[in-house]
Every structure is written in structure tokens, then in C-alpha cells.
Amino acid sequence: MARELYELAGSDPQRRFSPYCWRSRMALAHKGLEADCVPWRFTEGRAIAFSGQDKVPVLVDGDHVVADSWAIAEYLEDRYPEAPSLFNGARQPVRFINAWADTVLNLHLARMIVSDIPQWLDESHRTYFRASREARFGMALEQVTQGREARLPEFRAALQPLRVILRAQPFLGGAAPDYGDYAVFGSFQWARCVSSFPLLEASDAVHARRERMLDLFGGWPGTCRTARPEGRRGWVKRLRHPIYAAPC
């Protein structure tokens, strides 16, 4: 059975904009594993009912079905121990970064870009997205992002822990990225896929690090099929796809 990764998509099936799905896609590449990436939309719960829940990412690996990006990372690490490690032998520090991205970074990003997302959805999915997110925030999406230009300094200040680490090493994982990098970068990739709002200055160390991640993974052009890496660390460099080239 072919390996499959179900990912959130918009009306354009190649525009993938879930931070959690990006984490799983990068984890597969890190391990050197190919997967057919299957586009999935917000109201298509029946398509992943086999997973016992209604969220993506969902990984189907032979007889194994794994939901949740962190669970997928742990599964890949345990199932394929001979491939490069996602955690460099220490899961708890990486889990802390993963949790920080979930609870701090993604919340900041959502408050900056959430009103830009509906334009990429078909009408039925747009209606669901707006209703569910406005219930979550307790206000209209446009109110959530209102005044975001004035809030940019606060957002950028929240990234200072990343800058401290990146002054000492090229990636959060050290000389090469690990799953902590994918957790953080997945959030920025989500943002750049749906919004042209300039979250980072070009001189920012976090911006430079994001660009290094894009160079490593080549922007994921074409079919959205995971590339088979080459060499020990397996970073495949390809031209960036314009879908993922919006400034952020």
C-alpha cells in the first residue's frame, strides 16, 4: 500500500496551509520517506473517518493510521529508527518547542493573518471556516486582524527566544534542522501560503532562518509528492513554487 499524507488544502489543491500538516510533510522528508499527499478540506470529515477523528494531518503507512502531527513524528521516529533522527536523541526539548509553536507562535500568527484565509476557500468551506473561527475568537475575522500593523512590534518581540538560539547555531536543532525547526517553520509556511502581510523584516534572523529552510526543501513544487532525499541528511534543493513565494 502506498504511503499517504492527508493535508489541509484550499480551493487550489496545491495550496496547503496547515502548520501541522507542514510539520508532517517535513518530517517525512527528513526521514527520506515518500508519500502521496492527499488534499483535504474542512468539511470533508468523512474522507478521514477511518482515522477515528476529523482533523489532519493523517498519515497512512501500510496498515498503520496515525493522526496528529506530534504523534506522526513519534511514529516515524520509532518505525524508522535507521533513518536520520527527528529528535537527535532528546524528545522532550523538541516537544517543548513544539508546544511553544502550538500555544504561542500560532496564536500570534492567527491574530495577524486569519482574515486573509477565506479568500483561498470555496464558498462552502469559507462559510464553515468563518463561522467556526469567529466563534473561537468571539468576533469577526476582520476584527481579529484589525490594527495588525500596530501590533507587529509585539509579535516580533515574541520571537526573541528564537533569535537568541539562532545567533549561536544555524538551526534550532543545531548544525541541521530537527523536528523543532519543522514545528516553528511549519507555522511560518502556513502564514506565507495564505497571507502577503509582512510579518518579518528581511534583516531578522528568524527571516534568514526561514529562507534557509526554504532552500533545504525547495518550496515543494509540482505534485506535492515528497521528494526522496539525497545524501546523509537528504536535503533536496529545487526551484521554489510561486504558490509558496508570498512575502512574510
Q: Model's pTM, two decimal places?
A: 0.87
In tens, the pLDDT along 28-65 reads 989 989 899 899 999 999 999 999 999 999 999 999 99
71-85, 138-152, 213-227, range with the lowest pLDDT: 213-227
Task: Say whether pLDDT at 233 is over 50.
Answer: no
- Cβ proximity of 10 and 120 under 8 Å: yes
In tens, the pLDDT along 92-124 reads 999 999 999 999 999 999 999 999 999 999 999
| Cell digits of residue 165 | 538560539
> What is the distance between the alpha carbons of residues 79 and 69, in angstroms, rounded to a whole number?
15
| Cell digits of residue 227 | 521528494
Task: Say whether pLDDT at 234 is over 70.
Answer: no
DSSP 171: B
Q: What local confidence, expressed as pLDDT, does residue 217 receive?
A: 57
Q: What local confidence, expressed as pLDDT, does residue 2 receive?
A: 81
- Cβ proximity of 145 and 111 under 8 Å: yes
DSSP 174: B
- 17 pLDDT band (50/70/90 cuts)? confident
Provide the 3-class DSSP secondary structure of residue 40: strand
> What is the distance between the alpha carbons of residues 155 and 198, in angstroms, rounded to a whole number?
12
pLDDT > 90 in the chain, percent: 74
Q: What local confidence, expressed as pLDDT, does residue 226 receive?
A: 30
DSSP 234: -
Beta bridge partners of 38: 6
| Cell digits of residue 21 | 500538516
> What is the distance between the alpha carbons of residues 232 and 84, in angstroms, rounded to a whole number?
8
Beta bridge partners of 65: 60
Mean pLDDT value across residues 11-27:
91
Largest CA distance in the chain: 51
DSSP 123: H
> What is the distance between the alpha carbons of residues 60 and 44, in angstroms, rounded to a whole number?
17
| Other residues' Cβ atoms within 10 Å of the Cβ of residue 104 | 14
In tens, the pLDDT along 207-231 reads 988 888 877 755 543 323 332 333 3
- 236 pLDDT band (50/70/90 cuts)? very low
Q: Which residues contact 32 (CB under 8 A, 6 or more apart)?
A: 83, 84, 228, 229, 234
